[in-house]
Amino acid sequence: MAPALLESIYNVGIPSPTTLHSYKTAQWSEHADSKQRPDYEPGRTVVDSHEFYEHDDLRPSFPNIHWRPLTEVPYHDKGIRGDPRFRNLLDSATDVFDYNPKIGTEIRGVNLSKLTDAQKNDLARLISVRGVVFFRNQTDLDIDAHRELGAYFGKLHKHATTAVPTKPGLEDVHVVFTDGSSKDQRAVFSPTFLWHSDVTYEIQPPSYTALKLLSGPPRGGGGDTLWASQYAAYDLLSAPMQKYLESLSAFHSAQMQANGSRALGRPVRRDPVVTKHPLIRTHPVTGWKSLFFNPGFVTAIVGIPKAESDVIIAYLNELISTTQEIHVRFQWQKNDVAFWDNRICNHSASYGFEPHRRHAVRVACHAERPVFDPAGKSQEEELNARYGLPAVDKNGARQSNYND
C-alpha cells in the first residue's frame, strides 16, 4: 500500500496510533482526576460527636444496693438438645466460616432476635464446640430481646461491682463504657493480666455470654476483643502435665475486684467470695476437657507449695496470652454481637482506641458447677481422628510447618 494513501487517511481525521495513545492517556487522567480519592491519614479515624445518642438509657450506673450471697441454681445445658450439624440454626444463614481451626466462627444472615427454640439449642451447641460465634449488624436485638435470648439458656448473672444501665430493672445487664473522658488504664494492668473468664469466682460461673456493641470506634479505630480457647490450651500441654493438672484445683477470688470498686467510691453489691474450682474441667455438651484457669481471678493452686503454685500460674498465663493459634481477634462494628462460652474461653479487651466511645452491653447465664470427668476427651485428638489428621507432635521430633 502506498505511503501517500496512508498519510491521506490520517490527514482526514483518523488518529494515528501515537495520537490515539495520547488521547486515551489524557482521557484516563481526566477520569482519574474526577474520581473521589479516599480521605486517608495514617493512624487517624474520625471521632463521632454523639450529639444525639440513642442509647442514653443504657449508659453506666452504679446503684447502691446490696444482694445476698449466691446459692446454687438448677442448670440444664440447652446445647445438649442441639443438632450436631446445626441444621436448624444454619437454615437461614447466608454464610458461615471459621476464623481458624481452634476457635471462632462467623455466621451471616441469621437474626438473633427471631430464633426458634431449636435454633437457640443449635446455637448453644455450636458455641460449645467453637468457643465464640460472631453475628454482624444485629439491629433488631434491643435490650429486651437481648435479655430474653440470654435467659433462654439459664438464670442471668448479676455482677457485684461493674456498671449496670441507668434504666431501672436491668441489673442483670453488664455495661461496658469508655469515651474520651475516661482515664487511660494501660499503665495499671499488664497485658497478661487482662486475659480472663468472667466472674469465675462464682460457685456457678457463666456459660453462654452475649456482648453487643452499641457504639464503637470506626473501622481501623481499635477496640478489638480477643478470645483464647481453653480446649486448645489443655491440648497444648504434654500428657504428664495434663495428668498432673487434672489432679489440682485453684482458688478464684473476687477480692481484688471488690477492693478496686471501693477504692473508686463505688458500691459492692454482693460480698466478695473466694471459690475453689478444678483446674481442668469437662464440658457437658462436647465431653472435651479444657483448662479452667484465667490470669484475672486465679490467685493460687490449692494444696501445693507457693513457689510451685506461682510457677504453674506464670506458665499458664504465658500459655494463654502468647499462643497465637489458640486466639481469635474480632474487629467490631456497630450492632455486632459476640456469643461465647465462658467455661471454655478466656478473653481480653484491647486498648488504643481513644478518644472514641466504646459502649456495649452484655448478658451471661449461670452454668453448672465446674466438674472434672476423667472419662472426658481431648478436642484435638477427637477432631484429628475424625478428619484424618496426624497426631500432634509434642516432643519436637517431627519437622515443624512454621514457614513465615
Lowest mean pLDDT among 16-30, 94-108, 205-219: 16-30
| pLDDT score at 283 | 98
Q: Which residue has the cell 477496640?
A: 223
- Residue 33 — very low, low, confident or very high, per pLDDT cuts 50/70/90? low
Give pLDDT, residue 12.
Answer: 34
SS3 category, 104:
coil
pLDDT for 398 equals 67
pLDDT band, very low/low/confident/very high, at 403 (cuts 50, 70, 90): low
The 10 Å CB-count burial string (b at 16+, else e) for 66-90 is eeeebeeeebebbbeebeeebebbb
Rounded to the nearest 5 percent, the helix, strand and coil shares of the chain are: 30, 20, 50
Consecutive H or E run containing 346: strand 345-349
Average pLDDT, the chain: 90
pLDDT for position 25 = 44
Under a CB-based contact definition with an 8 Å cutoff, are residues 106 and 123 in contact?
Answer: no
Q: 335 vs 59, 140, 212, CA distance in Å?
A: 16, 9, 6
**What confidence score (pLDDT) does residue 400 get?**
65
CB of 124 within 8 A of CB of 152?
no
**Which residue is associated with the grid cell 495428668?**
243
Is 32's pLDDT higher than 90?
no
* Number of neighbours of residue 267 by Cβ within 10 angstroms: 13
Is 174:364 a contact under the CB 8 Å cutoff? yes
| pLDDT for position 35 | 80
pLDDT of residue 29: 47
For the chain, the straight-line distance linking the first and the last C-alpha, in angstroms and rounded, comes to 61
| pLDDT(363) > 50 | yes
| CA gap 364, 31 in Å, rounded | 54
Minimal CA–CA distance to 329: which of 311, 349, 314? 349
Summarize pLDDT for 330-350 with one digit per residue, the tens: 999 999 999 999 999 999 999
Q: Residue 169 has what DSSP assignment?
A: T
SS3 45: coil
- The 10 Å Cβ neighbour count of residue 378 is 19
Confidence of residue 26 (pLDDT cuts 50, 70, 90): very low
pLDDT at 391: 86
Taking CB atoms within 8 Å and a gap of at least 24, the contacts of 180-189 are 180/47, 180/354, 180/355, 180/356, 180/357, 182/354, 184/351, 184/354, 185/351, 186/351
- Are 197 and 379 contacting, i.e. CB atoms less than 8 angstroms apart? no
Q: Are 165 and 143 in contact (CB under 8 A)?
A: yes
pLDDT at 5 over 80: no
So what's the pLDDT on residue 27? Answer: 46
The pLDDT value given to residue 393: 83
Q: Is the pLDDT assigned to residue 401 strictly greater than 90? A: no
Percentage with pLDDT > 70 across the chain: 90
CB 156 within 8 A of CB 115: no
Q: Work out the pLDDT band at 19, boundaries 50, 70, 90.
A: very low
User: Angle at CA 226, nearest 5°, toward 370 and 372?
Assistant: 15
How many CB atoms sit inside 10 A of residue 129's CB?
Answer: 23
Q: pLDDT of 121-150, one tens digit each?
A: 999 999 999 999 999 999 999 999 999 999
- pLDDT tens-digit profile of 44-60? 898 988 888 999 999 99
Banded pLDDT at 182 (limits 50, 70, 90): confident
Find the helix or strand (DSSP H, E) in which 310 lies.
Answer: helix 306-322
Mean pLDDT, to the nearest integer, of 190-196?
Answer: 84
> What's the CA gap between 371 and 384, in Å, rounded?
25
Our CA angle for 48, 52, 56, nearest 5°, is 100
**Residues with Cβ < 8 Å from 139, sequence gap 6 or more?**
335
pLDDT for res 243: 98
Residue 314 has pLDDT above 60, yes or no: yes
Cell readout for 304 is 501445693
pLDDT mean over 70-90: 98
CB atoms within 10 A of CB 286: 19
Residue 328 has pLDDT above 70, yes or no: yes
Higher pLDDT, 187 or 295: 295
